[in-house]
A and B are shown apart, each in its own frame.
Chain A
């Protein structure tokens, strides 16, 4: 009993130690790494992963997965830009409609997983493919430029010295943490992910929870999409499609959320996200070849999941 507690505590802290080690290594390699301006750049780069990781955390806590979030970003980029540029829709309205659309895609995922019973990996892959196609049809495969003035603030602006996307990310993490720790939904996520049958028999309507979680995942992906649209200043269907969902999954799993569900903390995901940010930023500063960077990210994902699976195996024995 006690041993378990100690192990868990070490596990909780280990992720922060890893982050610290990375920071030291990169700083030693290039002292520019630790400069405030670089750190903010790092955080800004990672903000979209951070925002999208909230929903992904909930999905993985249930023991499911959401592969559609990269496409949701692409889709939101296109429809939001299209509405503002081609239809002259007020930016605030366009953003709200886009977020609603992203949430609806999540609801559709929820429908396929919960009501139809399609495994999440397939259901969300189906939406990924289909909505990417839809985004391409809307924009005709061309980027949509000429966004209204002021829209770039979301992704590029600062409040004081802090980039706005970083503030959005911090607020999102706070909301995620609140949902997970203070509302009954958080309790339900852990219960369902830990033991679906027992959760059902304790009165949790598991179907509804799945709808909710996929909807939340869609919403946060949509928000990340808005930030990306603003950063890149043009609606581009290729935004978010370069393995975005897997980078987010890496952040979440690296943060200690068990891929089999039921285990994990928001604070861990924050650390996981920062580690990914530090790795990407640090490797660029060290002039690591971008192909090699891919290899590193792959290895990190395998290590993170591998560690989790080994823990599970040990428990079963």
Chain B
């Protein structure tokens, strides 16, 4: 039975302190097939393939390659057994030629010097085999992303890879490049190489794969024969979890004709033609997969990235913030996704973190009004229920939830009217999450703020938003009103730049 599989991952489990990343996942790859691996962000796809490469050591389970059993891999062991992985970030040296990259780390030598001519000859052979035309002397940096990827694939094949794992290979490519990549992949399959293909793009899976394995929340869901399945079924399997978490309710507080933020055909920073409105008292959810251009949109609005065209209106007036400072002074705020890198100043006290955007306002001749500084910090510590023995406590000593509250307090102190939350509860424990949600509700209900909330968590998006707009690859692919919310619809919009194609 096991003879027909070249790679089997059996009952793989991976635990991290406090989290189970993979729960009993089994994957079986046949010789000469393309097996697609699909699932939402955080479904565990990357962790699973890292088990194959040796980058992650499974807590339990077995890896069987061509009948040989392993409890864990190492990068060397993986290579010896013919497993190669093409990551999204290429593993190349831009200043070396294509040929030299092909033999990176194992150059052909003549004595102690590198034999360039021999490497170039071998490179031509390797490229010819894939029917691709690359001059082996070209420096990597002068090749397009598509060709760089081809070099990676050629390298894998040159090293006798029998199992090729590709992690979102189409993500950085143009559509023409994707087509030639498909041809190469199909050719490899026909030559008997087995491929695991990870992608978010459903249409690709139907174009390319023989079977589709669906994962969700670190668990194996189902393996489908591609020809016998359809998109609807697939989306259902990907998202089909029970909605268990509860969200604090709020009254209907949306002021229909009081538009706080309006974008008209905004283009730039990777986003194209985005138009949307956020009203006072409203939480507008921004859904999509990682890399859909949501954070980039937030940066555009907040003056942290440059807009190419289109208009932004704030309370009816056109604005064009060139720096976060200008955006803040207008009444905009951003609670960034990466709290530790972009949000909190960890080595600075709670008091100073809260006051940071308003110091200039509360200073005379640049001297801080320290009484006011303290009062403001105390006020928002109380309002946000930040748990701390002292306002002089450094923010790095607080829990994730409390750090987020400090950032929130900062923007309330700055009297912001529109608050952009980028993944508001990432890395925050369940109890604190609920508190953040309640605070967000208070903001729209009691304080009359408007919120634009970016979230990759389906439940959070549906539980908190009044409306949801979905982006995919920088395009707006759909808008859903509260009655239309469903995981399947959001996923369908998020998985395809062009929904009709699916």
Q: Which residues on A are within 8 Å of B, measured CB to CB? A: 1, 4, 182-185, 187-188, 190-191, 194-195, 197-205, 262-263
* A201 contacts B334, C-beta separation under 8 Å: yes
Selected from A194, A202, A263, the residue in CB contact (under 8 A) with B357 is A202
Contacts of B352 in A (CB 8 A): 187, 190-191
- The secondary structure that dominates the B interface is mixed
Once bound together, how far apart are the Cα atoms of A263 and B393, in whole Å? 15
* A198 contacts B345, C-beta separation under 8 Å: yes
Once bound together, how far apart are the Cα atoms of A155 and B370, in whole Å? 37
Given that A4-B397, A203-B356 are contacting pairs, would A195 and B345 also be in contact in the complex, using a CB cutoff of 8 Å?
Answer: yes
Once bound together, how far apart are the Cα atoms of A185 and B356, in whole Å? 11
Contacts of B393 in A (CB 8 A): 1
* B328 contacts A203, C-beta separation under 8 Å: yes
Q: Which residues on B are within 8 Å of A, measured CB to CB? A: 302, 304, 323-325, 328-329, 334, 336, 341-348, 352, 355-357, 359-360, 363, 366-368, 370, 389, 393, 397, 410, 414
Once bound together, how far apart are the Cα atoms of A1 and B348, in whole Å? 14
* B341 contacts A195, C-beta separation under 8 Å: yes
* A205 contacts B325, C-beta separation under 8 Å: yes
Once bound together, how far apart are the Cα atoms of A293 and B293, in whole Å? 59
Given that A184-B360, A184-B366 are contacting pairs, would A201 and B347 also be in contact in the complex, using a CB cutoff of 8 Å?
Answer: no
Once bound together, how far apart are the Cα atoms of A81 and B341, in whole Å? 49
* A201 contacts B336, C-beta separation under 8 Å: yes
Contacts of A204 in B (CB 8 A): 325, 356
Contacts of A191 in B (CB 8 A): 345, 348, 352, 356
Selected from A188, A198, A202, the residue in CB contact (under 8 A) with B341 is A198
Least Cβ–Cβ distance between A58 and chain B, in angstroms: 14
Selected from A183, A190, A200, A262, the residue in CB contact (under 8 A) with B304 is A200
Residue of B nearest to A191 (CB): B345
* A184 contacts B359, C-beta separation under 8 Å: yes
Residue of A nearest to B359 (CB): A184
Contacts of A200 in B (CB 8 A): 304, 323-324
Contacts of B357 in A (CB 8 A): 202-203
* A203 contacts B324, C-beta separation under 8 Å: yes
Residue of A nearest to B347 (CB): A194
Contacts of B414 in A (CB 8 A): 203
Once bound together, how far apart are the Cα atoms of A202 and B328, in whole Å? 8
Once bound together, how far apart are the Cα atoms of A133 and B457, in whole Å? 61
* B334 contacts A190, C-beta separation under 8 Å: no
Contacts of A187 in B (CB 8 A): 348, 352, 355-356, 359, 368
Once bound together, how far apart are the Cα atoms of A149 and B323, in whole Å? 53
Residue of B nearest to A179 (CB): B366
Once bound together, how far apart are the Cα atoms of A197 and B343, in whole Å? 8
* A-B residue pairs, 5 tightest by C-beta: A184-B359, A194-B347, A203-B328, A202-B356, A203-B357
* B325 contacts A182, C-beta separation under 8 Å: no
Contacts of B341 in A (CB 8 A): 195, 197-198
Least Cβ–Cβ distance between A193 and chain B, in angstroms: 8
Could you list 29 A-B pairs, sorted by A, with CB under 8 Å?
A: A182-B367, A183-B363, A183-B366, A183-B367, A184-B359, A184-B360, A184-B363, A185-B366, A187-B352, A187-B356, A190-B345, A191-B345, A191-B356, A194-B346, A195-B344, A195-B346, A197-B341, A198-B336, A198-B344, A200-B304, A200-B323, A201-B302, A202-B345, A202-B410, A203-B324, A203-B325, A203-B328, A203-B357, A203-B414
